[in-house]
Amino acid sequence: MLRTKTFLSTWSQERSMKWLVLLWLVAFSECIVKIPLRQVKTMRKTLSGKNTLNNFLKEHTYSLSQISSRGSNLTIHPLRNIMDMLYVGNITIGTPPQEFQVVFDTGSSDLWVPSVFCQSLACATKSMFIHLRSSTFRHTQKVFNIKYNTGRMKGLLVYDTVWIGDLVSTDQPFCISLAEVGFDGIPFDGVLGLNYPNMSFSGAIPIFDNLKNEGAISEPVFAFYLSKDKREGSVVMFGGVDHRYYKGELNWVPLIQAGGWTVHVDRISMKRKIIACSGGCEALVDTGTALIKGPRRLVNNIQKLMGATPRGSKHYVSCSAVNTLPSIIFTINGISCPVPARAYILKDSRSHCYTTFKENTVRTSRETWILGDVFLRLYFSVFDRGNDRIGLARAV
């Protein structure tokens, strides 16, 4: 989830009872402008209508099996594919543990979950952290905002024990939300950021860094396998790589610079013609984004080459185009990574076909693309903090 910076603020020192009262007040104290929800409209079969959404939430809420398997070198943690919209996995926080479904997100660095102080509509259907039930909880007075492409949250920095399967981080800094905007009705509770520490809005040490520093993982790497269509089967793994999830060899791509999961792209081509990134560009490899996003002018040009017609927030094509449209090839550090039409064309709830290329609304000085789940379903991805690089290989 790519996001833009907002300023942090702090509360003055208060006693315990006054702190609880202030939490309620802060949740209502600011007028927050709603940001249009985009990512949730990228699922394979779009949720439409209030009843459909409510039924979906009742059927799918918090039923993911959370049995992580741990070998001598790595921990494999299950994720669930929510209709190609997002991938979620369970974590627990507190003593005794309270369970939450979170997006494991390489585009951000903060961990946050809803709290009982959140009165936003987005929190109404989610599991909320109840601090009074945890004997290991401790709070701070640091309040801050995080802004994503899909929405934003206002949170309070706190500390508690966090478990990812059998991996544990004690006294882990994380955020409890006081207000959320733009996440209404989406079947996840919060976000677990896996980007570098310098990307943290709260200034807290990310959980992966704590696990690494405490020796809980043998190697400073994590990796993703994202399933296609199937609800089960996706995983995130920590401390190593399970070779059963990819074919051939891993191709290692150095980061443009340490501090973010962004790589250099040589060009983007179709039928041997360059259609974008003609002078080289950069791309964020982002498990928290569903689509492939890029600059408006270049995305619009790609839509025209596909013969796509704009309708609402999407661009539609004939479903038969899946069999005729060519692959779009991202050449990354000299490595060709084709994205075939069967991957970049999806069906909505009415079985109408649309493309998964979308404008990146975050303005940057350089041509920047976001390679989200559409790309990562095709390519097993390894995020190597020890060597500041990303490994890509064909997913099984």
Least confident of 4-8, 276-280, 303-307, 368-372: 4-8
Instruction: Look up residue 329 and give its amino acid.
Output: I
Check residue 149 and give its pLDDT: 80
**Mean of the pLDDT values across residues 339-367?**
93
Domain match, 180 and 251 both: no
**Residue 368 belongs to some domain of the structure:** yes
**Residue 46 belongs to some domain of the structure:** no
The answer, yes or no, to whether residue 90 has pLDDT greater than 50, is yes
**Residue 59 belongs to some domain of the structure:** no
Q: Is 286 a catalytic residue?
A: yes
Domain match, 258 and 388 both: yes
What number of CA atoms fall less than 13 Å from residue 71's CA on the CB side? 11
Domain match, 202 and 277 both: no
Using 50, 70 and 90 to split pLDDT, how confident is the model at 40?
very low
Kindly name the residue from 84, 189, 266, 286 that is annotated as catalytic: 286
Alpha carbons 144 and 173: distance in angstroms, whole number: 14
Domain match, 206 and 250 both: no
**How would you classify residue 133: left for phi > 0, otherwise alpha for psi between -120 and 50, otherwise beta?**
alpha
Tokens linked to 268: 């983007």
Residue scoring higher pLDDT (396 or 4)? 396
Residue 378 sits in which domain range? 242-395
The answer, yes or no, to whether residue 18 has pLDDT greater than 70, is no
Percent of the chain with pLDDT over 70: 82
Domain match, 252 and 147 both: no
**Residue 116 belongs to some domain of the structure:** yes
C-beta of residue 316 within 8 angstroms of C-beta of residue 352 = yes
The answer, yes or no, to whether residue 32 has pLDDT greater than 70, is no
**Mean of the pLDDT values across residues 358-379?**
94
Place of tokens 């013969």: 307
Phi then psi for residue 312, to 5 deg, are 70, -130
Domain match, 185 and 296 both: no
Domain match, 252 and 379 both: yes
The answer, yes or no, to whether residue 296 has pLDDT greater than 70, is yes
Return the CATH number at 298.
2.40.70.10
Percent of the chain with pLDDT over 90: 74
Q: Is 348 a catalytic residue?
A: no
> In this predicted model, what pLDDT tens digit does every residue of 199-238 receive, in sequence order?
999 999 999 999 999 999 999 999 999 998 788 999 999 9
Domain match, 255 and 390 both: yes
Domain match, 116 and 193 both: yes
Looking at the structure of the chain, the number of domains it has is 2
* Predicted model pTM: 0.83
The answer, yes or no, to whether residue 175 has pLDDT greater than 80, is yes
Check residue 230 and give its pLDDT: 82
Check residue 171 and give its pLDDT: 97
The answer, yes or no, to whether residue 19 has pLDDT greater than 60, is no
Using 50, 70 and 90 to split pLDDT, how confident is the model at 150?
confident
**Residue 209 belongs to some domain of the structure:** yes
Phi then psi for residue 355, to 5 deg, are -90, 155
**Residue 275 belongs to some domain of the structure:** yes
State the SS3 of the chain.
CCEECCCCEECCCCCHHHHHHHHHHHHHHCCCCCCCCCHHHHCCCCCCCHHHHHHHHHHHCCCCCCCCEECCCCEEEEEEEECCCEEEEEEEECCCCEEEEEEEECCCCCEEEEECCCCCHHHCCCCCECHHHCCCCEEEEEEEEEEECCCEEEEEEEEEEEEECCEEEEEEEEEEEEEEECCCCCCCCEEEECCCHHHCCCCCCCHHHHHHHCCCCCCCEEEEECCCCCCCCEEEEECCCCHHHEEEEEEEEEECCCCCCEEEEEEEEECCEEEECCCCEEEEECCCCCCEEECHHHHHHHHHHHCCEEECCEEEECHHHHHCCCCEEEEECCEEEEECHHHHEEECCCCCEEECEEECCCCCCCCEEEECHHHHCCEEEEEECCCCEEEEEEEC
